[in-house]
């Protein structure tokens, strides 16, 4: 009898457990059952539907002539046609790094929703599920009693979830799933889809001058599981083919393609790097860039300690490094044109006419000089300071928070040197390779301790670990300071092959900071600097295609 009773209890318990599972399944399948005309729990209640359609760049991937975005739109139309009923409201959100709400308010006009879906277009933005989830939350209706359903239609790119957004996507989806039931619909193609992409091209120098070679490089990506040897990368400048390189791309890896090009004319130039390989996403097989090439760059060199002996004049070394070969010596005119002036910086009435200001040999700077440099830097100028290493301590505020403190001179042969291995700055990146010009070959017996207030960026360090060159952003400009002098006092650097490229790289970097950016990612602001006298003029924007 006990056996029979236990068996009946176990059967009843099994039946309850099965019913619980069935209820869970029915709850998740309610839209499909409702579409089939089955009246079940709450089927008469109106539903607020949010269609979150991924229109990011990767949705252009195509197989057999159909893109993932086209498949996503078909799925969205299926939801409207087969799941939504009269009385339900529909909102449409295009999700990407910049989500777009197609219907500002939920509509009960299903025909209008169909038209909006059909008219939806792809974007050039990347994938950002956190931004999409936040936007979906903002469009959910706050009316009580309505069931809320979100259909998230995407190709499920890993970059959008979750680590690429710093965990923000995970937090956003916690809030989203608390407010509505989310159905994730993956419209991606089969695993192992072949795709090669070209990264944003970059130049070896921020400041490009006419008739001076510049290195242009880009990173090629292989997102397929099969290696692609001998991929031909092309460089095109102003619609002319000017170079090609073969690159071996490992499976699920990347490689760098490098080109060297000489712009023969100043002015704006448009180029691109592209590859011709068959894959699913042709749109990322090329990458555009723009370059502003200048004829001459005006540099002001302030001589803080003039000397009748050039060997003792630090400004002489800087000016010679900026223009080592002039027309009078049988060479081409220098692209960096230094103007050397002695005396007070604040007395110079037209600092804005120079792309960068270099101050050398100053034992200290007066409050007026510091304020003049601060105004210049705040308005986009670049300042480079080389101190006098045998003077007294002086305040560098407000340019650099803190004091410049000279150190006791080291005994001969016991000085420090620059450590190229510590370079972590784009201006000096090319000098990490010591095979051509070795920054570490010079000995410095006289140095200073640089200000550390405001956590400045360290461009390079001494061999003892101390900062040798620091950078601080001020307004829209930049201030850099070296812990060593620009001349031969206490340093052998001016006599080393690395001195000229060091001065060139630092000055070019600072001069380029005052110019407007030329290459922008989709969604970034285009900022241009215009003189007040140009205010009444018209501005024309030229597209890479040639259209205006």
- φ, ψ (nearest 5 deg) of residue 310: -55, -30
* Cis-peptide, bond into residue 162, ω within 30° of zero: yes
What would the two tokens of residue 422 be?
């510590």
What would the two tokens of residue 429 be?
């990146």
What would the two tokens of residue 30 be?
């309610």
User: Beta strand pairing status for 89-95 and 47-54?
Assistant: parallel
User: Reduced to 3 states, what is the DSSP secondary structure of residue 67?
Assistant: strand
- Pairwise CA distance, residues 150 & 52, whole Å: 7
Instruction: List b or e across 286-318, with b for residues whose CB sees 16 or more CB atoms inside 10 angstroms.
Output: ebebbbbbbeebebbbbbbbeeeeeeebbbbbb
Looking at residue 220, its pLDDT comes to: 95
Angle (CA) 488-492-497 rounded to 5° is 110
Residues paired with 385 in a beta bridge: 359, 481
Of 96, 81, 23, nearest to 49 by C-alpha is 81
What would the two tokens of residue 526 be?
């285009």
- Pairwise CA distance, residues 367 & 349, whole Å: 16
* Cis-peptide, bond into residue 398, ω within 30° of zero: yes
Is 427 in contact with 407 (CB distance < 8 Å)? no
What would the two tokens of residue 210 be?
């006419």
- Pairwise CA distance, residues 44 & 38, whole Å: 11
User: Reduced to 3 states, what is the DSSP secondary structure of residue 332?
Assistant: coil
Looking at residue 163, its pLDDT comes to: 56
Task: Give the CA radius of gyration of the chain.
Answer: 32
CA distances from 531 to 48, 342, 352, 510, 515 (A): 53, 28, 11, 20, 13
Output the 3-class SS for 114-177.
HHHHHHCCCCCCCCCHHHHHHHHHHHCCCCCCCEEEEEEEECCCHHHCCHHHCCHHHHHHHHHH
User: Beta strand pairing status for 147-154 and 181-186?
Assistant: parallel
Please name the helix (run of DSSP H) or strand (run of DSSP E) that holds residue 230, with its range, or none. strand 228-237
pLDDT in tens, the chain (548 residues): 888 888 988 999 999 999 999 888 877 765 555 544 443 444 556 888 999 999 999 999 888 888 999 999 999 999 999 998 888 889 999 999 999 998 777 888 889 999 999 999 999 898 889 999 999 988 886 555 578 899 999 998 887 875 544 557 778 888 888 889 999 999 987 665 778 999 999 887 777 888 888 899 999 999 888 899 999 999 999 999 999 999 999 998 999 999 999 998 998 899 999 999 888 888 899 999 988 898 888 999 999 989 899 899 999 999 999 988 653 443 344 578 899 999 888 887 788 889 899 999 988 888 899 999 999 998 888 999 999 998 889 988 888 888 999 999 888 778 999 999 999 898 898 898 888 789 999 999 999 999 988 889 999 999 999 999 999 998 878 999 999 999 999 999 999 999 999 999 999 889 886 555 677 777 777 766 666 776 777 888 877 678 89
Looking at residue 72, its pLDDT comes to: 95
Q: Token pair 């709400």 is at which residue?
A: 101
Looking at residue 296, its pLDDT comes to: 84
Angle (CA) 86-87-89 rounded to 5° is 105
- Pairwise CA distance, residues 485 & 411, whole Å: 17
Looking at residue 516, its pLDDT comes to: 57
Question: What end-to-end distance do the CA atoms of the chain give, in Å?
Answer: 93
- Pairwise CA distance, residues 168 & 166, whole Å: 5
What would the two tokens of residue 180 be?
């509505």
Looking at residue 38, its pLDDT comes to: 41
Looking at residue 331, its pLDDT comes to: 38
User: Beta strand pairing status for 356-362 and 297-303?
Assistant: parallel
């Amino acid at each position: 009898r006990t056996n029979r009773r236990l068996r009946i209890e176990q059967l009843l318990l099994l039946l309850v457990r099965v019913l619980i599972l069935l209820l869970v399944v029915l709850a998740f399948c309610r839209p499909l059952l409702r579409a089939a005309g089955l009246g079940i729990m709450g089927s008469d209640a109106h539903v607020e539907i949010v269609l979150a359609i991924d229109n990011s760049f990767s949705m252009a991937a195509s197989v057999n002539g159909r893109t993932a975005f086209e498949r996503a739109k078909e799925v969205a139309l299926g939801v409207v046609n087969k799941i939504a009923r009269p009385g339900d409201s529909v909102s449409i959100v295009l999700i990407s790094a910049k989500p777009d709400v197609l219907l500002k308010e939920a509509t009960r006009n299903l025909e209008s929703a169909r038209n909006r879906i059909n008219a939806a277009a792809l974007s050039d933005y990347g994938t950002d599920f956190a931004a999409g989830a936040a936007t979906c939350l903002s469009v959910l209706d706050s009316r009580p009693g309505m069931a809320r359903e979100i259909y998230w239609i995407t190709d499920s790119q890993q970059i959008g979830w979750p680590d690429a957004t710093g965990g923000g996507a995970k937090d956003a989806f916690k809030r989203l799933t608390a407010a509505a039931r989310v159905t994730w619909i993956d419209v991606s193609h089969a695993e192992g889809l072949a795709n090669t992409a070209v990264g944003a091209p970059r130049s070896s120098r921020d400041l490009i001058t006419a008739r001076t070679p510049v290195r242009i490089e880009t990173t090629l990506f292989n997102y397929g599981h099969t290696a692609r040897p001998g991929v031909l990368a092309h460089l095109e400048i102003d619609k002319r083919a000017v170079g090609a390189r073969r690159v071996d791309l490992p499976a699920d890896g990347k490689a760098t393609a490098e080109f060297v090009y000489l712009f023969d004319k100043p002015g704006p130039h448009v180029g691109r790097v592209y590859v011709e390989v068959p894959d699913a996403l042709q749109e990322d097989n090329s990458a555009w860039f723009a370059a502003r090439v200048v004829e001459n760059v005006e540099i002001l060199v302030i001589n803080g300690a003039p000397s009748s002996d050039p060997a003792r004049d630090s400004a002489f070394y800087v000016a010679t490094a900026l223009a080592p070969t002039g027309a009078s010596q049988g060479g081409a005119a220098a692209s960096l044109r230094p103007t050397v002036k002695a005396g007070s910086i604040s007395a110079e009435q037209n600092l804005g006419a120079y792309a960068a200001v270099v101050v050398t040999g100053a034992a200290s700077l007066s409050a007026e000089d510091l304020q003049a440099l601060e105004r210049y830097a705040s308005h986009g100028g670049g300042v480079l300071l080389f101190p006098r290493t045998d003077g007294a301590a002086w305040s560098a505020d407000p340019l650099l928070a803190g004091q410049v403190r000279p150190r006791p001179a080291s005994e001969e042969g016991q000085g420090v040197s620059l450590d190229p291995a510590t370079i972590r700055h784009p201006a000096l990146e090319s000098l990490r390779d010591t095979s051509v010009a070795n920054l570490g070959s010079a000995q410095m017996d006289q140095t200073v301790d640089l200000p550390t207030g405001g956590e400045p960026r360290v461009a390079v360090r001494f061999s003892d670990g101390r900062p040798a060159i620091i950078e601080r952003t001020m307004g829209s400009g930049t201030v850099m300071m070296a812990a060593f002098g620009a001349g031969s006092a206490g340093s052998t650097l001016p006599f080393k092959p690395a001195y000229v490229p060091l001065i060139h790289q630092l000055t070019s970097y600072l001069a380029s900071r005052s110019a407007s950016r030329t290459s922008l990612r989709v969604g970034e602001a285009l900022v241009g600097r215009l003189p007040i006298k140009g205010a009444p003029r018209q501005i024309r924007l030229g597209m890479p295609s040639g259209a205006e």
